[in-house]
A and B are shown apart, each in its own frame.
Chain A
């Protein structure tokens, strides 16, 4: 029964290994990966269902008792994120068969794709800090391979920077883990939390907490450490960008959320106050970037950054409502960023340019993609019936309740500017005179529209069906704010 927790890691891992053997048979590997992704989504949803019914699943791998072996902790938060990951994976795998070239597909795209999902699921599920590092490396290694897949001049140029910054932060991660090990004598997260609690985070532990924050902040693209993100996310194939935009930074945010709600929660004045400032700066700088360019891919890419700011703001406020706001925003943002990258990829593939000034009148040729983009933009900006609204509402309300007026104002202005940057794409690319010289590629655009519509439908559900999702999120945030539940369920004392 508790072996269920390993399936979200095991299925994509085996699928990745198997698809490496059949890489030349493009059709076969396509069908195989579509099947496996759907099966994986079903399995993961079933695991999620059992967890919400019977409480979290703790798997002690190899039968070793908790602090001595590696534990996989599938609690409500991790499984919800794993389910979202797999929904995005299904949409991307359907999109991939149209947007990848024959050559890219046969050069192990699907293998790396599955390894990326393995790494992301593993990072969400693990209960061990060093194991988290290993899963980070699994997902980063496959992201290195995916980012250069195709081997264009710009891709090579940007991926060197991407690999270097991530390598540096990984090395820092190892160093910080070793510091933490020398202080508390363990790498199991529950036991670290217990021991930090015993000394109430005295002495060196706050320094280690801030170092650890910087490691995760580099992965999550928080204010001073986001400069590597925008350009490296636009160079690979649109499917790869969608996977990166939806998953990679969110793993960093999840790690911050986990570490700063279970382990380092005793010096809130120092750490969490510091997050609020960084969150405000992240929002401002990200949205300024989004307004500064006419490249539609770059606009979407910059829009990742303010979203990270919003999630960090919830962690910084550190109350039950604000943490649930962060979690809601996290779920919403994973889906909507995947959607937007796919739409923009489709637009670029259909028009052949990513420059906003060279487009116009696309709505006459591709109405479905146009309206999907419109809905996704409203979702991103947080217009009431859609999913971005609820997360933002909770965050801003809680900000007001805590008298953090400055960050609330910044958050509101940021939302407005996000909306502006998105509607700018909509107005310039989709509106305007019909260009009769273009013959629309209907077959291709329909193939692009399906996976996008799937994700948009899911993100609309997150907004309209908040009645179903919100109670779960509320439970999760109550669970996160009481670290003893996590510790007790893992250490079983």
Chain B
């Protein structure tokens, strides 16, 4: 199971990086979202999968899954959610003001 999720996370990373290297701003943001999905899946995988019941104390349950990675993922999800929403608004404003959403045209013109 861990092998499959690791591979899936790898694919998410690959597609994320591919999108990050594109020119259109929105694609780049989609790339960052895919990357953070990959990272979160990695955390879950690294805490080992399918080793017991959900981490809620119930009478008679011996084995629980590791609760720490889940807390880490939850923290990381809200952080990347905040950054992504900021980035979307930033991209919106930047494309309005600079009249382009193409990263090539957003290069500095000062010393080139």
Contacts and interface: CB of A to CB of B under 8 A. Distances in A.
A167 interface: yes
Contacts of B40: 174
B93 to A, nearest CB: 6
Contacts of A295: 110-111
Nearest to A186: B68
A151 to B, nearest CB: 7
A174 B76 contact: yes
Interface residues of B, number: 36
Interface residues of A, number: 35
Nearest to B86: A144
B8 interface: no
B83 A163 contact: yes
Contacts of B46: 178-179, 181-182
A474 interface: no
B79 A163 contact: no
A148 B32 CA distance: 20
Interface string B52-80: 00000000000000001100100110011
Contacts of B42: 174-175, 178-179
B106 interface: yes
B86 A163 contact: yes
A409 interface: no
Interface in B14-67: 20, 25, 28, 32, 35-36, 38-40, 42-43, 45-48
Contacts of A148: 90
A414 interface: no
Contact of A293 (B36, B45, B90, B111): B111
A231 interface: yes
Interface stretch (A24-32, A154-162, A345-353, A427-435): A154-162
A163 to B, nearest CB: 6
Contact of B72 (A130, A141, A151, A179): A130
B97 A130 contact: no
B7 to A, nearest CB: 15
Contact of A175 (B39, B90, B108): B39
Nearest to B95: A156
B11 interface: no
Contacts of A158: 108
A153 interface: yes
Given A156-B93, A164-B28, A168-B20, 5 more contacts: A171-B35, A175-B38, A178-B47, A181-B69, A182-B47
